[in-house]
Amino acid sequence: MRIAIATDGNRVAQHFGRCAEFTILDIENNQVIHRTVVPAPEHRPHIFPRFLNEKGVEQVVAGGIGRNAQALFERFGIETIIGVNDQIDRVVDLLLGDELESSENECNSGDHHHHHQHHGVK
């Protein structure tokens, strides 16, 4: 599985569309087999979902993702885990332990509050 974490320094970016870079993880058998950091492309409408789709990303982690980006990710078949506010290494540990959950979307505060269990990292 290939996962992209919207990143600002060593933390999850709280606004997906303004992140400086993406930490991309390739995970097999609950182990990170490859980890790289790639600069985010210049921000333009809809560019980040397309950029990550072209990189083969299957799941995205961020503090918040706008509704349009969420819809594009859904069309690409990319799962989003939102409302994450932690250091990258802690998020990786949670992913490997199948314990990372979505919470309130930082980009849509005031929207419904939802949780779902993250599953399927292999």
CATH number for the domain that contains residue 82? 3.30.420.130
- pLDDT value at residue 107: 57
The beta strands (E) that lie in 43-100 are given as 59-61, 79-81
How many CB atoms sit inside 10 A of residue 119's CB? 8
Q: Which domain holds residue 74?
A: 2-108
**Residue 120: pLDDT over 80:** no
25 part of a folded domain = yes
Its pTM stands at: 0.84
Band of the pLDDT at 104, cuts 50, 70, 90?
A: low
Comparing 61-75, 83-97, 107-121, the range with the smallest average pLDDT is 107-121
114 part of a folded domain = no
67-76 and 47-54 helices, crossing angle to 10°: 30
Number of domains the chain contains: 1
81 part of a folded domain = yes
**Residue 112: pLDDT over 50:** no
115 part of a folded domain = no
**Portion of the chain with pLDDT greater than 70, in percent:** 84
- When pLDDT is averaged across residues 46-63 and rounded to a whole number, the result is 95
Mean pLDDT, the chain, integer: 86
